[in-house]
Amino acid sequence: MNFNSSSYEERAAKHPHPVARSLFEIMVSKKTNLCLSVDLTSSQEILALTDKLGPYICLLKTHVDIIEDFDPDFISKLSELSLKHNFLIFEDRKFADIGSTVIKQYGGGIYKIAEWVHITNCHVLPGPGIVDGLKSVTRDLPPRALLILAEMSSKGNLLTDEYTKTAVEIAKNNTDFVIGFIAQHRVSEPSNDKTTASGSNADFIIMTPGVSLPGRDGDSFGQQYTNPETAICVNGTDVLIVGRDLFTNPDPVSRAKEYVSTGWNAYLKRINK
Ligand code: S5P
């Protein structure tokens, strides 16, 4: 669809959701729209890389269930790093079950995701009850937010245009919790002067995985990549999610700096600054 020509500052000032506001404020203060997808399996390696790349990211995306030596102490250390470097934490849990089950998966188990994660995500295959279930967990917690998977990066995925439209409708009905989408394009109308706190003109944040600087051509399991400039200037994304191109790089700091400058310049071009 369209892209959003408002600045992150303008969007922060108007956004009704505290997690969206914090994210935009972090992006502005650190001049970065990079999210590190830290898909490593050792907690020490995750913490070490996060400490190194913390200054360059606005958001850290985890897959907590792939960690082989998970221990609750890991959560405290990760939360300390989020304060030290000023980034939010996004657990890419992709919930996909009925409301009553996701309540236990999000709030309980050994990971207690809702307690320490600012943002998580879900599929809406089960219908809107999944969002109601997840939201119910957050009632007595500090502000928490949800992203809905509206499109996927992988070849042959089953998220049709019709599915995407329904996902957007579900988001519009839940703007007190849903702040955006995991998507390949801006799937909802961009915010503008008529942006409202909720409903059809809500300002949703688009986060895009399957992003890489030139040189990485997918993998043997169907992953597909778009370059950062196209993702931001043509497809209208707000946050670039990058995994292997950072965490397998021999010099991840230099690589992260390349993403930060490419991503930020593309954003400035989009807002015409
Ligand atoms: O459509 C999607 C949605 C997600 S959240 N495609 C994806 O690749 N992801 C996640 O983004 C995926 O689970 C992985 O953690 C990351 C992409 O990693 P990369 O190594 O391919 O950059």
Q: Mean pLDDT of residues grouped by 10 in the chain (273 residues)?
A: 81 96 98 98 98 99 98 98 99 98 98 98 98 98 98 98 98 98 93 53 94 94 98 97 98 98 98 86
CA of 173 to the centre of ligand 1 (A): 26
Measuring CA to CA, which residue among 34, 18, 6 is closest to residue 194?
6
CATH number of 8-189+199-271: 3.20.20.70
CA of 82 to the centre of ligand 1 (A): 21
Please report, for the chain, the start and end positions of each structural domain, with discontinuous segments joined by +: 8-189+199-271
Q: Establish whether residue 228 lines the binding site of ligand 1, counting it when its CB lies within 6 angstroms of any ligand atom.
A: no
Q: List pLDDT tens digits, range 240-256.
A: 999 999 999 999 999 99
pTM of the model: 0.96
**DSSP reduced 3-state for 208:** strand
Tokens standing for 209?
Answer: 């995985």
H or E segment to which residue 148 belongs: strand 145-149
State the pLDDT at residue 236: 96
CA distance 208 to 232: 9
Question: Which H or E run includes 269?
Answer: helix 252-270
User: Is 152 near ligand 1, meaning CB less than 6 Å away?
Assistant: yes
Would you call 104 a catalytic residue per the annotation? Answer: no
Report whether residue 263 contacts ligand 1, using a CB cutoff of 6 Å: no
In short, whether 164's Cβ falls inside 6 Å of ligand 1 is: no
Residues 25-54 pLDDT 10s:
999 999 999 999 999 999 999 999 999 999
CA 194 / ligand 1 centre spacing (Å): 33
264 C-alpha vs ligand 1 centroid, how far in Å? 21
**What was the pLDDT predicted at 1?**
45
Q: Which of 19, 46, 50 is nearest to 34 (CA)?
A: 50
Q: Is the CB of 226 under 6 A from ligand 1?
A: no
